[in-house]
Each structure stands twice: as structure tokens, then as C-alpha cells.
Structure 1
Amino acid sequence: MAVQQDGKGGVSAEISFEDFAKVDVRVGTIIDAQPFPEARRPAIKLWVDLGEEIGVKKSSAQITVHYDPGHLVGKQVAAVVNFPPRQIGKFMSEVLVLGFPDAEGEVVLVTADQPVPNGGRLY
């Protein structure tokens, strides 16, 4: 089985449940969204409320094709909260907001289909 490296095509190599459990995916609500014109690729700066335990974290997301900053506030999204922070230009991205590619490869955010408490862990 081929190992998936670029998010397109084949299935990734098999992992154990313990490997999966190391990735901490939580739900949070976007409380602020701002254009990020300084980014090399079009992006939006997000501030995501991930509940009392984690707090508000920042993320740079390349989601400009389907999303406008003005319409993102209040949207619940899934995010990986235990990757190390990553410097994107002058902005420190603290969590990775998750999405799936549409038919053209553009990001569609992973969301809950019903409201859930911020900070809930994926299982």
C-alpha cells in the first residue's frame, strides 16, 4: 500500500489506534476572522475558541476560495491542537484547522452538523 504524502490520491499506510489517539482533534468556534494579505498563498487568520481547557488559539487557513472572513465568525470547526506552533509570516499559527478538498482541490472546512460544546475531542 502506498504511503500518502500530499493529501491527494491513494490511501495512507496503516497505523495503530495508539498512533491515531496521539492526534488531538477538538471542536471550536471561530470568534474572529481577518484577511491575511501578507501570506504567500491567499489565507485567512482565524481565532478559534476551543473551550476553557485550551482557550482561544490562532490559525492561518488557506480557505479563501469558499470562505469570506465576515461569514466565518460563529462557525464551529475541527482543529488539531497538539501540533507545534508554526510561524506563517508575522503570524503564529497555533492550531491546524481541518478541511477536505472539493472537486478542484480547494479546502472545505470540517464542521459539526449540530452545535457541540467547544473543546470536545474527536472520537
Structure 2
Amino acid sequence: MKLTKNTKRAKGMTLLELTVVILVLLSLITILFIGARAWKKGSDRAGCIMNIRNVQQAARSYQNMYNLAIGDDVPAGKLQGADQFLETAPVCPGGGTYSPADLTAAVAIPAIGTPVLSCTLSATQDHVPSDTTGW
């Protein structure tokens, strides 16, 4: 009669293997959240720049159409409103506010390189471009 050793290896994972898997997953999730936060900040910045650029183009278009000089006022309601250059008021996607807040009022044509709008987040973050020379 032969004696055989009946040793079965338990199936599954050890506690150490499970801990390593959980740590790897937590690390990957952390990296994902950091990347998502940076992506959101970048998309907010791009949206804000587009809003400022659109208002700038509206003011320059009105200036060119009516042969206005720098410093002249665009009459109230000519930039923003139904059937105007801007349908609605721009909203900063990062949560900042624009100055001037009301584009339905008269707006002065700025000098070349000076934007019509400014965002409150531009002082605290790299939210809007620092060089607007060609604007």
C-alpha cells in the first residue's frame, strides 16, 4: 500500500497579494483624478480665452463697420442682444466674472492689444494670456 500525500494547494489570493492589488488600483485612481483636474483647468482656461476673443472680435467688427476710432463708444445694445454680434453674455467656465459685466451697455473701443473684457481669475491663476498684443 502506497501512501500518497494529499496536499491541495488552496485556490485564490493571499492577503498580501490582495493588498498589493488594492494599492495599485488606488494609485491609478489617484493619477486619474490628478489628470482630470489638470484637464478641467485647461479646458476652463481655453473657454475663457474664447469668450474674451469673441467679445474682442465683436468690438473690432463694429469698429470696422462704422469706422470708429479707438476710445469711441459702441452704443448700448449693439454688441450683445438678439441679432447682434453676441447673442448672450459670456460666462467664465472657471467661475470668474467678467468686467464689464454688462455688454448691453455702451462699451468703449479699446486700444490695439487691450482686451474689451477682463476676467477676475486672470490675477490669481494663469487663466488668460498675458500677451494680447495683436488683439
TM-score, with normalisation over the residues of structure 1? Answer: 0.27
Higher percent of residues as strand = 1
- TM-score under structure 2 normalisation? 0.25
